[in-house]
Amino acid sequence: MSSTGEGMALRFTVWNPLRACRREVTFVRGCLMNNSSRIDGLKERIRAIPIVGPGLRYLYSWATLPAKVRQILDALHLHSTTKDTVRESTYIGNYKALTRTALGQKIVLDTRDVSITPHIILDGWWEISVSRFFLNLLTEGMTVVELGANVGYYTLLAASRIGTKGKVFAFEPNPDLFEILHVNMEINGFLERTELVNKAAMHRSEPVTLHRMQRHLASASVGRPSEDLLIRWRDRVEPIIVQAISLDEFFKNRNVEINVMKIDAEGSEPYIFAGMSGTLESNPDMSIICEFNRDAITWANANPADFLENLARSGFSLMYIDYDSRPVEASIEELLDFGFCELYLKKARS
């Protein structure tokens, strides 16, 4: 540590995987100073931080850092630009590429996908405003449920943040994506802190038809997309039979307290909520991020307006996550007019 005119300053070096370089960081009176530019909002003093190297964010070493340090290092990456960054990725065969998220986790992606893969390979992010909001909900030791995990991008973010004392339950019905999901947890050392479920979350346990697309691998749905969309997207649907399960049945007798749930099920959301009434009752303080896709819900033979009205009647405040990662209150009419957004659902404390 060295003394400055304003008080004590602490300088240390971190490995920045976003820019593949070492970066000197200085704390002055608990405020982060990065290359002489201040990142606001980090006000607490830091007593001591060791010098760390390339292994910082990978495998189990990340979970051993104090929570405040992890939040500050995340802020470094959240405030970094990717425009002048050369990102590294490797084609490993069989339509698979290996790269890293912007926060450093290794991730395998399907190169045929045009929905998620290009963004993560070039930017390291998918849905950056939602990613920021999601990360801010998580702390060490939490239990997280993710429905529609795809290849595990959000699963990796959650598993990194909740540490060895937390747990992530990730559901993905598409068998091909589920295999990649498993690989991504394994290569990051997260199998022990995750439980991966190759089923669709629905209102009851039974076989269902999943309509998966050949190019847009993040858009598989129990409802068949419209022909207009398939023509516009130049895509084709392959129906497969997968097993579904309700969350009430899955968590029955498990005695699990769920802190955060993320739902991205391409129109299955009304059925998921119908099958987790007991889970909601047992976890009244749970925070939920839920995709609202008016058209996909309609394709799944459900009513988008009824879905939103049922959420409001259940005691949820209806908010959406804006581009600045802030929850904004909205009426049912406004959400229906949006057509697509990420909802943030939280019940008011009585």
Convert 264-313 into a string of H (helix), E (strand) and C (coil): CCCCCHHHHHHCCHHHHHHCCCCEEEEEEEHHHHHHCCCCHHHHHHHHHH
Pairwise CA distance, residues 318 & 310, whole Å: 11
Domain boundary among 46, 78, 110: 78
Q: What are the φ and ψ backbone dihedral angles of 38, each rounded to 5 degrees?
A: -90, 135
Q: What pLDDT score does 234 carry?
A: 94
Give Cα separations from 163 to 63, 108, 190 (angstroms): 5, 21, 9
Same domain, residue pair 329 and 262: yes
Same domain, residue pair 181 and 46: no
Count Cα neighbours of 183 within 13 Å in the Cβ-side half-sphere: 18
Same domain, residue pair 196 and 323: yes
Q: What pLDDT score does 77 carry?
A: 52
Pairwise CA distance, residues 301 & 284, whole Å: 28
Q: What pLDDT score does 68 carry?
A: 59
Same domain, residue pair 132 and 71: no
Burial category of 213 from C-beta neighbours within 10 Å (exposed 0-12, middle 13-18, buried 19 and up) = buried
Same domain, residue pair 233 and 336: yes
Q: What pLDDT score does 66 carry?
A: 58
Domain boundary among 39, 57, 78: 78
For residue 245, the cross-strand partners are 201
Pairwise CA distance, residues 38 & 44, whole Å: 14
Same domain, residue pair 32 and 134: no
Q: What pLDDT score does 85 carry?
A: 53
Type and span of the H or E element at 211: strand 207-213
- Classify residue 252: in a domain, yes or no: yes
Contacts of 81 (CB under 8 A, 6+ apart): none
- Kindly report, residue by residue over 119-140, the tens digit of the pLDDT: 999 999 999 999 999 999 999 9
Q: What pLDDT score does 18 carry?
A: 39
Contacts of 99 (CB under 8 A, 6+ apart): 87, 88, 89, 90, 106, 107, 109, 120, 121, 124
User: How is residue 332 written in tokens?
Assistant: 């049912």
∠ CA 193-199-204, rounded to 5°:
120
Same domain, residue pair 247 and 166: yes
- Classify residue 110: in a domain, yes or no: no
- Classify residue 62: in a domain, yes or no: yes
DSSP string, 97-160: EEEE-TTS-EEEEETT-SSSHHHHHHHS-SSHHHHHHHHHH--TT-EEEEES-TTSHHHHHHHH
Q: What pLDDT score does 34 carry?
A: 36
Q: What pLDDT score does 349 carry?
A: 72
What residues make up the domain containing 17? 2-78
- Classify residue 74: in a domain, yes or no: yes
- Classify residue 90: in a domain, yes or no: no
Same domain, residue pair 310 and 238: yes
Q: Which residues of the chain have pLDDT under 70?
A: 1-86, 350
Domain count along the chain: 2
The predicted model scores a pTM of 0.77
Q: What pLDDT score does 62 carry?
A: 45
Closest by CA position to 130, among listed 334, 341, 293: 341
